[in-house]
Amino acid sequence: MKPFAAIPLLFCLPLLASGPGDRLIQVPGSTTVIRLLEQSPPRYQLSFDRGKTWSQNLPAQLRILMRYKRFDPLQGVPFVADFLKAPSHGRLFLVQFHTQHLDAYRRDLLRRGVEVGLPMPEQAVLVRMDADMVATIRQLPYVRWVGPYHKAYRLDEGIRAALLRGDTLGKRRYDIGLFDPETDRVRLAAAIRAMGGEVDNASTGHVLVEASLDRAQLLQVLGREEVLFVDPWSEPEEDMDNARKYGGADYVEPKGPLGGHTGKGVKGHIMEGIYSTHPEFAANAWRSAPIGLKNTSPSGHGNATFGIVFANGKKKIARGMLPDGQGYFTNYRYVYGNSNRNALVSLLKKTYHVMFQTASWGYARTTQYTNRSAEMDTIIFGNDIPITQSQSNAGATPSRPQAWAKNIFSIGGIRHRNTLTPTDDYWRRSGSIGPAADGRIKPTLCGYYDYIYTTGYNSSSYTSSFGGTSGATPINAGHVGLLIELWTDGYFGYPGKRGDWKNRHLYLPHFTTVKAMMVNQALQYPFSGATADLTRVHQGWGWPNVKGPYDERDRMLIINENHVLKNLQTKSYLVFVPRGKKEFKATLNWSEPAANPAASKTRLNDLDLHVTGPKGTTYWGNNGLKASNYSSPGGTRNDVDTLENVFVKNPRSGIWQVDVRAAKVSVDNHRETAATDVDYALVVSGLGGMRDKTGLHLSLTTAGNGDLKISLSNLSAGYTEGWTILSLTTSGVLGHGSVCGLEFDALSATTLSWPVSLGNPVHFKATSNSNLFPNKPYSFPAGTFSLLKGFSMDAVSVLVDNAGILACSNVSRVKF
């Protein structure tokens, strides 16, 4: 038997005959053709090669999903009061397509002079154009409907209700989101000043304009072409030795170089003021005293959060997660004063090589994705940095708007009663919870809500009662820092240099990978049911854990945004799960630009995680996980979350197929190329083989004269035959390829087709003869591989029995 089925064909359905009522549409200026199928409910197919190949039938989603209302515009548009309608000269419009948003549509609209803004779920986009262009755009064959972007659509619900009641409002301060933050800020600020309004903040690099307006000025601003959405402004508000043990910091510390994993060379930023002369923050051989940037005013609250991350353990019980890490700090009044957090984070990342940031404060609680949520998505997306954010302490869904961002680590709180055992932990209306208004699972992770011993509220004191999600959040930030330390030490196979603590910034993982690894290896509290005290939207994906990734470091598949998909493409990974594994876990996470706060669904691109077990059982990302620790088989794909998981308890041994499917790519998140495509982080654990040499062990060696020696040890009892699969595709990271850690190529396919024989190192029969491979190494003579001088080769060995795959080896690499 062959160990692997054929690699799936990703996008190659044959040309299909049109039905009698079907409609074919060629998108002008492109090779894209759409076929609208005469079906109920309506469906369509897509071809990107002028009709040579077609996608599967895809469902048309005809409603526009707005916070104001969800509606099918051909069935009727929602009522809007006259004074909240778009002005007759307005230039912002919604354009709905017959299909999902395609890059070919965007390019065609741009050629016609239309400015294309953010997608509006599910099949629309916000555009800017002159009103006299509307009739022309409506006639485009791929356009279903065009309508005005009314003032009412751009308003927070509370403000809109006040306007409809006739409240005078008085002069109030607002956060104003921009259609194009790069070009609209100066123009809108000038217009506000000209009408008598006050521009409170319009800083360069900021994604919002903050302005104080009366009722008449607000209505005037709402009709302007620069305005995407308007929220009420608010001031920032704060959110109030077991953590090191439970999350694995004490476990991994003694296992590292330079005296242990204690944050040496890891740089983190606390977005609060501190008392920098506290003895716990003193300089040592690995760090300087805390470095303050911009506003360095002290804060007792910030002093406590800083200590949770960086206290050096002068008082042992107060020792932080990164006692040798380099701490930076800025009082949040700085960004409150100039609304320029984006520029600050960019400075931290590019100039100071800061690797993570944490914030235990936020703007006024809300249940919605707001302009401040969008701001945070923009910051993280643009700077590629992990940021942890307190969910807040409402004991219900009202949370900090930053916590509703898609790219953020939002952190919830669980009471632990000052004990190490998790069995007595509970939520009981402590930290704020999810889900988000659009159904996304929040929080991301959780931490201790109570009894946290840390640095106190001045330059010398301590406290034993710090808590709230203010305490849970820096606990998670410290674990993020430790994971970055492990990564940059090279533990996961990606570039890194153990002991090179001064240059960790050269080896950083993408923030999506950090998030995927933290979620994949989190310690879940057991629960059952959506109403359980520790249900999913109370604990998130669990408690941070660095012991797990350290222990599993050689047995994980990690894709660090190094694979890219275009619309409707699929990337498949075949991984081996050995016997006796307690859990199989797959985690998919991708980065996203900010959404339009007017939309009722914030996800812009739609990737799917789909897993198939050895006997054909299938799992969709997040299916069943809101009500259980483990996934439910079957179900339907998730079209809400940008972080998807499949968790399987006691998985069946054998080959598992993990698919990442690009169901919709509306915006580009892979800015390294000109194409509209998407990259992602994928983490799969509970595996065998990969880089692990404790099981079936393969070794390729050469003396450098064109020879090759193949050695195989730790063979499994009962195998009947085996393969050594070779590959010349070695540009990727060793052990993180798509087939049992190997990157499958034409040579791999050739080796799989070799006939079986005794002693054949490529396809061998089981034998007791000690002089035959695999019982004895096989040596190809000098000169056999002379043509490959300067090239590398990878290989993985696979053993099978009558039931299927029995074992996979580590991936071995040799350079000729």
Domain end marker among 150, 180, 198: 150
Residue closest to 152 by CA, chosen among 91, 93, 84, 214: 84
Residues ≥6 apart with Cβ < 8 Å to 401: 231, 362, 363, 364, 365, 366, 368, 369, 370, 371, 372, 373, 376
Q: Is residue 647 part of a domain?
A: yes
Q: Is residue 106 part of a domain?
A: yes
The 10s digit of each residue's pLDDT in 471-488 is: 999 999 999 999 999 999
Q: Are residues 201 and 109 in the same domain?
A: no
pLDDT at 205 over 80: no
Query: What's the confidence (pLDDT) of residue 677?
Result: 96
The DSSP secondary structure of 649-693, one letter per residue, reads ESPPSEEEEEEEEEEE--S---TTSSS--EEEEEEEES-SSBT--
Q: Are residues 159 and 138 in the same domain?
A: no
Q: What is the CA radius of gyration of the chain?
A: 28
Q: Are residues 340 and 372 in the same domain?
A: yes
Q: Is residue 32 part of a domain?
A: no
pLDDT band at 19 (very low <50, low <70, confident <90, very high): low
Q: Is residue 33 part of a domain?
A: no
Query: Strands across the sheet with 267-270, in order?
Result: 291-292, 326-329, 267-270, 356-359, 387-390, 409-414, 445-448
Q: Are residues 227 and 243 in the same domain?
A: no
Q: Are residues 174 and 196 in the same domain?
A: yes
pLDDT band at 14 (very low <50, low <70, confident <90, very high): very low
Query: What's the confidence (pLDDT) of residue 20?
Result: 65
Average pLDDT over every residue of 433-458: 97
The 10s digit of each residue's pLDDT in 119-132 is: 999 999 999 999 99
Q: Is residue 273 part of a domain?
A: yes
pTM here is: 0.95
Q: Are residues 413 and 487 in the same domain?
A: yes
Q: Are residues 163 and 138 in the same domain?
A: no
Which amino acid is present at 722? G
* Distance from C-alpha of 591 to C-alpha of 642, rounded to nearest angstrom: 8
* Distance from C-alpha of 596 to C-alpha of 563, rounded to nearest angstrom: 27
Domain end marker among 116, 150, 184: 150
The 10s digit of each residue's pLDDT in 520-570 is: 999 999 999 999 999 999 999 999 999 999 999 999 999 999 999 999 999
Query: What's the confidence (pLDDT) of residue 589?
Result: 99
Query: What's the confidence (pLDDT) of residue 6?
Result: 40
pLDDT at 9 over 60: no
Q: Give the structural domain span for 367.
A: 237-539
CATH number at residue 712: 2.60.40.10
Q: Is residue 811 part of a domain?
A: yes
pLDDT at 779 over 80: yes
**In the chain, % of residues over pLDDT 90:** 91
Q: Are residues 305 and 402 in the same domain?
A: yes
Q: Are residues 384 and 524 in the same domain?
A: yes
Least confident range from 11-20, 424-433, 453-462: namely: 11-20
Residue closest to 332 by CA, chosen among 340, 321, 323: 340
CATH number at residue 655: 2.60.120.380
Q: Is residue 6 part of a domain?
A: no
For CA atoms 736, 738, 742, 743, the dihedral sign is negative
For CA atoms 377, 380, 384, 389, the dihedral sign is negative
* Distance from C-alpha of 506 to C-alpha of 111, rounded to nearest angstrom: 40
**In the chain, % of residues over pLDDT 70:** 97
Q: Are residues 487 and 559 in the same domain?
A: no
pLDDT band at 338 (very low <50, low <70, confident <90, very high): confident
Domain end marker among 132, 150, 168: 150
* Distance from C-alpha of 90 to C-alpha of 224, rounded to nearest angstrom: 7
Q: Are residues 575 and 496 in the same domain?
A: no
Whole-number Cα distances in Å, 322 to 85, 250, 499, 782: 54, 11, 16, 52
The 10s digit of each residue's pLDDT in 288-309 is: 999 999 999 999 999 999 999 9
Average pLDDT over every residue of 629-643: 97
CATH number at residue 81: 3.30.70.80
Number of domains observed in the structure of the chain: 5
pLDDT averaged over the chain? 95
Q: Is residue 54 part of a domain?
A: no
* Distance from C-alpha of 789 to C-alpha of 787, rounded to nearest angstrom: 6
Q: Are residues 210 and 96 in the same domain?
A: no
pLDDT at 15 over 80: no
Residue closest to 642 by CA, chosen among 687, 689, 678, 671: 678
